[in-house]
Homo-oligomer: A and B are copies of this chain.
């Protein structure tokens, strides 16, 4: 809405989040302020009100998408969530995705690949977790780890990981061709904010379980990770499946932004309630007698 004010447009048609947050190739990650709130000019309280107000419309659209699939529809949504440790992936799952009917959502958390998974190409386990028709699939980490942590630590030779960008683009194009809308979100936090969040995990006994000494080892490679994130934006933000960079130092904004991205994409799909495939009056008469 800030943009609208500057251009003098009425705030009744604010910039959609999918426009304000879209990161095309060449977008400079370092130039995006992790505390900014693009697409929204309210404060934290206004943000929470706006998030709550989205629950009902998103829920109805999700149910329509699900209903459509029961009548043979093939469309689905895949929300991919990436971000540094403590960037708030869990909060997105709980407070944004968690507002949607759990029957319509499939969350998959990708950890380090198991021995079984390592025997297969890196996209194998991803393909197995794609959403079925009518569903909203959510990936907590994803195939992008195979060009993030894998690149930073050279877990496979460079020749191998550098080919993966193209393989990912081909794969995602295929997924989109199968009627799945892909929404890729990078939760963008600052190094200072990560420090504060790790410190909290070390201050509170109810947060110890979320901390791992390895988190600090990864933190020490901060710049390498930022380069690796820059690379996925430059190489894998496509028209078929663009990346959205969500400033995430303010948790409330990140949740609001992801929920809006979901809402805007569902609106664009505009799923409709299926027609009855039976004679309504006939069934009403049968029911009456039963």
Interface, chain A (partner B; CB < 8 A): 67, 70-71, 90, 93-94, 97-98, 101-103, 105, 107, 109, 140, 195, 198-199, 202, 205-206, 208-209, 211-213, 216, 219-220, 273-276, 278, 280, 283-284, 286-287, 290
Contact = CB atoms under 8 A, between A and B. Distances in A.
A90 B71 contact: no
Contacts of A283: 202, 211, 213, 216
Q: Is the interface of A mostly helix, strand, loop or mixed?
A: helix
7 contacts: A67-B209, A94-B102, A98-B102, A102-B102, A102-B105, A102-B107, A208-B275
B103 A216 contact: no
A14 B79 CA distance: 44
Number of identical monomers bound together in the oligomeric complex? 2
A102 B106 CA distance: 9
A93 B102 contact: yes
Given A94-B103, A98-B101, A103-B140, 19 more contacts: A90-B103, A94-B101, A102-B107, A103-B109, A199-B284, A199-B287, A202-B287, A205-B273, A205-B276, A208-B273, A208-B276, A208-B280, A209-B274, A211-B276, A211-B278, A212-B278, A213-B283, A216-B287, A220-B290
A212 to B, nearest CB: 8
B273 A209 contact: yes
Nearest to A59: B94
Given A202-B284, A208-B275, A273-B209, A97 B93 contact: no
A84 to B, nearest CB: 13
Contacts of A220: 290
A67 B71 CA distance: 41
